[in-house]
Amino acid sequence: MTVNVRKQCLPLVLLLSWCTTLQAKEIETVSAGDWQISLAAGYGALENPRAKVENINTWILPTWYYYGENFYVENFTLGYSLYESESFIVDLQTRFNEDGFFYEFDGLNKLLLSDILGYTPVKQPINPKVVKFEEIERNLSYLGGLNATWVTPYLDISLGYFHDITGVHQGNEIQLRLKRSQAFSWGALGFEIGAIRKSENLVGYYYQLTKEEEGPLRTKYQPSAAINYHARSVVNVPIFDSVNFVAILEYTWLGQEITDSVLIDKAGYVSGFVGISYDF
The pLDDT tens digits of the residues spanning 239-260 come to 988 888 988 889 999 999 999 9
- pLDDT of 129 over the 50 cut: no
Handedness of CA 34, 37, 40, 44 (dihedral sign): positive
Task: State which residues form the domain around 181.
Answer: 2-279
For residue 143, give the nearest of 271, 4, 277, 17 by alpha carbon. 17
- The upper half-sphere exposure of residue 101, i.e. CA atoms within 13 Å in the direction of its Cβ, equals 21
The DSSP code for 216 is T
Distance CA 246, CA 41 (A): 10
CA angle (109, 115, 116) in 5-degree steps? 70
For residue 263, give the nearest of 213, 197, 201 by alpha carbon. 213
Q: What is the pLDDT of residues 77-119, one digit of tens each?
A: 889 999 988 889 999 999 888 888 787 654 433 333 223 223 3
Predicted model pTM:
0.77
- pLDDT of 124 over the 70 cut: no
Q: Could you give the number of structural domains in the chain?
A: 1
Residue 27's pLDDT band, with cuts at 50, 70 and 90, is: very low
Task: Tell me the average pLDDT of the chain.
Answer: 78
Q: Which long-range contacts (CB under 8 A, 24 or more apart) does 220-223 make?
A: 221/260, 221/261, 221/262, 223/257, 223/261
Average pLDDT for residues 220-240, to the nearest whole number? 91
67 or 200: whose pLDDT is higher? 200
Residue 7's pLDDT band, with cuts at 50, 70 and 90, is: very low
Distance CA 228, CA 157 (A): 17
Q: What is the CATH number of the domain that holds 83?
A: 2.40.230
Distance CA 61, CA 83 (A): 32
